[in-house]
Amino acid sequence: MSASTELTTKSMMPEERTNLLSPSSTTESSPNMAVGDDWLDLLEMQAMLSPSIHVRRTQSLSIVLEGDPAYDAIVMHRLSSTQRACGRLPALLATFAIELVVAFVVSRFTATLQTFPLLIAFMPVISAVSGNVGLQSSSIVTRALALGLISPDDAVAAIRRELSAAVVLGALLGLVTGVIAAVWQNWLVFGVVVGVAQFLSIWTAALTGSAAPLVAKWFSMDPASAAGPMETAIQDVVGNSLFLVFASSLLNYFA
């Protein structure tokens, strides 16, 4: 059969498809994971008898090398629950440590929060909205890395695209949040503070969210496991710090 032949089957079980990437289907002589010609020939014969999945032969069929876009996903798929937990724990511990900085920052502005208690009500709103923007950016970049659409060498272009989108999102969501805050507090300056803080938090979240997977990949870490906690922790520190410093300076000045 030719190297570009596509065969379709219907009777192939899911576990049989998974086994294509299992160690038993790899060649013993190569340190990398590859589907051997004998296995491929057997698969093609089976595909001729039963129509279910697409099997494509290319010049280097089903080779999964370290550094291949699919490598991290394959490795994670094979790990046990305990191994997955241990692999994700370092990023979560780092997040815990960084979030303690947020607690320290908030504790330094208790006087401002007592004077303007409505700030406390908007802190989780700003954090949640900007955090989700960061997670969106992180997911988009992680998916692009997994599909081989970008690499750490394309970091500047990838981050610039996300920051451009964040400017639009920040302007729209900052305006909405600011108007609600101004009406609620019946004070325009308060609305400006909250709206600007929302914009800056969203922009910061997009920056950290798009950069985190690229940094993780650069250091040979799994972007899917490391990027989310990194983005959340950094965004919380920067976002809350900007919000409280800006609020303390401006509100106390105009009060």
Query: What per-residue confidence (pLDDT) applies to 78?
Result: 81
The torsion angle over the Cα atoms of residues 189, 192, 197 and 200, rounded to 10 degrees, is: -140
Rounded CA gap, 215 and 73, in Å?
A: 17
- H or E segment to which residue 147 belongs: none
User: Residue 29 in 3-state DSSP?
Assistant: coil
Query: What per-residue confidence (pLDDT) applies to 87?
Result: 85
DSSP string, 39-103: HHHHHHHHHHHS--S-EE--TTTT-B-TTSTTHHHHHHHHS-HHHHHHHHHHHHHHHHHHHHHHH
Encode pLDDT of 159-205 as tens digits: 999 999 999 999 999 999 999 999 999 999 999 999 999 999 999 99
Percent of the chain scoring above 90 in pLDDT: 45
| Phi, psi angles (nearest 5°) of residue 68 | -65, 145
Query: What per-residue confidence (pLDDT) applies to 91?
Result: 84
The shares of helix, strand and coil residues in the chain, as percent rounded to the nearest 5, are 75, 5, 20
Q: Which residues in the chain come in under a pLDDT of 50? A: 1-36, 51-64
Q: Whats the size of the chain, residue-wise?
A: 255
Query: What per-residue confidence (pLDDT) applies to 172?
Result: 98
Q: What is the pTM of this model?
A: 0.70
Query: What per-residue confidence (pLDDT) applies to 8?
Result: 40
| Domains of the chain, residue spans | 6-65, 89-254
CATH class of 89-254: mainly alpha
